[in-house]
Amino acid sequence: MVVTSALNWPGAVGPIYASGMTPKYVDVSVLDGCVDDRHAAEGFEDGAVAALVPHLFGNFTRLPQMRSAAHRRGLPIIDDCAQAMGGILRYGCDPDFYSAAMTSSGNGSKHLGAGELGVLCTKNADLIEHVDLVSLSSSSRDHERVFSPMTYGYNYRPNVFSAAIALSRLPDLASQIEDRVSNSTYLWRSLARLPGLRPLFDESETANSFCVLPLRLVPSEIDLPEAACIRDRIVTLLKAEGVPMDVWLRKPVWEYMAFDRPSLDPAAFPNTDLLLSTICHVKEVAPPNDHRVMRLFAEAFEKIWEDMPALKDWLVRPS
């Protein structure tokens, strides 16, 4: 069994099955949408042999209880930083940080924005060899091409154009993340006074890299029913005002699996359940957008919030 989050990207969970293992889903924290530290640590007590930890929306979660439970047993943790590359920059080289590998994505919506490619950072030579075995038929190591005729032949190589873009963007990654942090902090400070809006990130975590600005709606604070359709309608209104809003997943991850879909009770994952009906996020917080653009986004939120009494009938109408 491999501990992983109930709020998760299906493409990250599939490889657990592909490795002949079974996910052990645990609930998330409402602070940042990432796996709940205590539940994840308990997963190791219940017999899990590894953890695959998604760091969502740009949030990096340190998980001290889970890491020490894994460390005590010598079990691996893989940090999925596809949405949170800042975690790799901050903790990847920290010898005291317990992680077997940190992975990331070159997908266009992420920090590298390079097309399609994957990144695996590890110091574990056996793991690199294993990844070569299951993915590549030939690869570049120490400036030489190495052929691996024993591979499974999946050929998960990045294409050369994506790889070239990713490499060219690496030197500016830290400064890109600084701008994302600055834009997101500025925007959140402007939005914080609006009732019914909460941050979905730990404001004290310095490794957050804001793939997006994640938010949570609490409709009851603005006298509206707690329902996913209310969140969706507010997002529609904000989009109509030009704010690049989106809603991520709407179901627990196992419901997206094409095979071996377990029947788990969502009530056993109350935070995941709550977030699935209340989360939304603002995209386009990356440079070249700046505080001036963030101000325009904030003004659109303010406009919708001011008009909320007049919009109420539309927001609560039956579907």
Ligand X SMILES: Cc1ncc(COP(=O)(O)O)c(C=O)c1O
The site for ligand X (CB under 6 A) is made up of 9, 11-12, 54, 80, 82-83, 105, 107, 118
Separation between Cα atoms, residue 15 and residue 19, nearest integer Å: 6
Nearest CB to ligand X, comparing residues 285 and 300: 285
| Interacting residues of 281 by C-beta distance below 8 A, sequence separation 6+ | 57, 200, 212, 213, 214, 215, 245, 246, 247, 248
| Interacting residues of 233 by C-beta distance below 8 A, sequence separation 6+ | 314, 315
β-bridge partners, 139: 146
Nearest CB to ligand X, comparing residues 46 and 116: 116
Kindly state the smallest distance separating residue 59's Cβ from ligand X, in Å. Answer: 11
CB atoms within 10 A of CB 97: 15
Angle at 4 between CA 200 and CA 208, to 5 degrees: 35
Kindly state the smallest distance separating residue 228's Cβ from ligand X, in Å. Answer: 20
Tokens representing 129 are 């060899």
Name the residue whose CB lies closest to ligand X.
105
Nearest CB to ligand X, comparing residues 56 and 294: 56
Nearest CB to ligand X, comparing residues 10 and 287: 10
Q: Would you give the distance in Å from CA 86 to the centre of its chain?
A: 12
Nearest CB to ligand X, comparing residues 83 and 278: 83
Kindly state the smallest distance separating residue 209's Cβ from ligand X, in Å. Answer: 13
Kindly state the smallest distance separating residue 301's Cβ from ligand X, in Å. Answer: 25
Tokens representing 266 are 């969502």
Kindly state the smallest distance separating residue 28's Cβ from ligand X, in Å. Answer: 12
